[in-house]
Structure 1
Amino acid sequence: MSQNWDLFRFFLAVARAGSIAGAAGRLAESPATVGRKLRELETALSATLFDRSISGVRLTSCGSRILARAEQMEHQAQLIGEAVCGSDGQLAGTVTVAAPSGLGQILLAPQLRELHNLHPELRVMLLLSTSKVNLLNREADIAVRIGAPKQERLVGRKLGEVGFGIYASDLYLDALGDFETAADLEGHNIIAASGDLAQTVQNQEFAAVSAACNVALTTDSIFAQLEAVKSGLGIAPFPAYLGQSHPDLVELLPGHLQASADLWLLMHPDTCGMARIQAVQEFVTRICKTALAGGGAATCL
């Protein structure tokens, strides 16, 4: 068949998402369009590429055999686009950056205007979640992660070290005495974590020291935690860069949370050298290092 990259683009999206609906969301297309493109490719190849089920799709043996070749096509298409975009000295195109929700909203989003002013044709797609994207599956171009990387094939650099603290609002503390030891937390309201948020470094350590506290709210969103603490509902742990960014919050028992975590910037080895990705990673690196160096509970390495 005449190799149609557009059809393989849909094939890769479905393979990575594990479902047509998931691929549609990533491609900003309707599920009907994704299904139609997939059928076109299967017809052109005279092969079934996916086994369909109610729970999603799974690559057939044929689909598995062509996956690596399709990724090679994707890489070549990216290089062609890079050559065209860079031919006039301008940086253009989309770079997807995945980051923890608190870090992305507090540190990155407010600074992106500067990057846009430098490179107006460069578009950043910012993915904020407690869930980790798979860079090897090209779910993002750049990932900023708290914690050491586990995929050895990725290209990465350590940006610094994130510290954590226990925070309450002035509103909550107005009628209370000083906190001198962890025992002083007993009987106080806390904003507990659930889901992926409960697995974060700060919430795991906080859970161990707050067993005698009253759970006023449980949530899987760090921003729901934050707003509840700001309203005076209770106490919760946050990364230092988040807690220190709100002047109405007070750190209780400074230094009591001993855990810290490395902050890493990671990229796919096949795309890390592209000019637009280099420009964005350099920008993100500078923002994060500056923030960590300026925060009292974090040390830039």
Structure 2
Amino acid sequence: MSISINSRLQENFQQYDGIFFPKDYELLSAAEQKQLWDKIGSIYYQTQKAEELSQDVLKTIDYQQITGKIGGLWNRFPHDRHFETILEIGCGYGRTSINLSKEKNLSCAQYYGIDISEPLLRRLLYFKQAYNFYPSATFNLICNSAETLPLADNSADLIISNAVLMHIEQEKVEALLLEVARVLKPGGAFVFNNSFHNRNCPGHILRNLSRKVFPFRANSIYLNQQTLEEVESLLENAGIAKKCSKLVVEPNSHYVLLPEELGGFKVPLANGINRSLKPSTAQKAALAYSFNAYSAGVLDA
């Protein structure tokens, strides 16, 4: 199977310095979203400082201090699972996979990470040398947009993504999910944590109004929102349900009544109010900042 997967990369991609780039990389590089994420990737959080440290020094620092901790569904991921092939959509600098490998002992034989930002992928390579996550895996890093996945049909045992899909235009999300259904093995598993912004969330409604009033302050990295029912329809229409066990779509446990900033100005007390929210089960779908989606059984197997 790995030969078939790699043949797709060989046909349309060229590998330089550990990363596969599409043969029309110049065309991709001219895209506005690519340029935006390359810029973000060069200064993303505190990790831009990591390259200033030698590998020996970096190895002495707890990886969570450098990469940040993850939460949400990943806290529920079982220990000591092995998947032959893992695909990570929007892998960034590897934060999710580093944590899953180190904290949950998740392992695989083949790892495919795709991200549009070259600086983030280069940082992932740097962290791989320092922290050696997924130590038994062959790494295949792909610099490209994710709506066309260069993997063979029925080739991925586990597909993961963390807080990525809300950054992709709606029609491209639909195309991406069709690709997920294509490459996921029958009986395979997927976990999309904090992946779909909730259109009914009061915080998002107020932000949307603010963006209309102050369009020059609009955040161009957030490109789509859905209701819980719309997320369920997206996954069903893509055909993912035919490949895995029952789909689960649920509210993320981050609830937002007031956005922490509007039009570039801080909203007083918003953080404290949001943290104090304890919605009932019926209220969660309205107040949740985003939705998670996953295949039933993967988090408690």
* TM-score using structure 2 length: 0.29
Q: Max radius of gyration: which structure? A: 1
> Whose RCO is larger (CA < 8 A, sep 6+)?
1
* TM-score using structure 1 length: 0.29
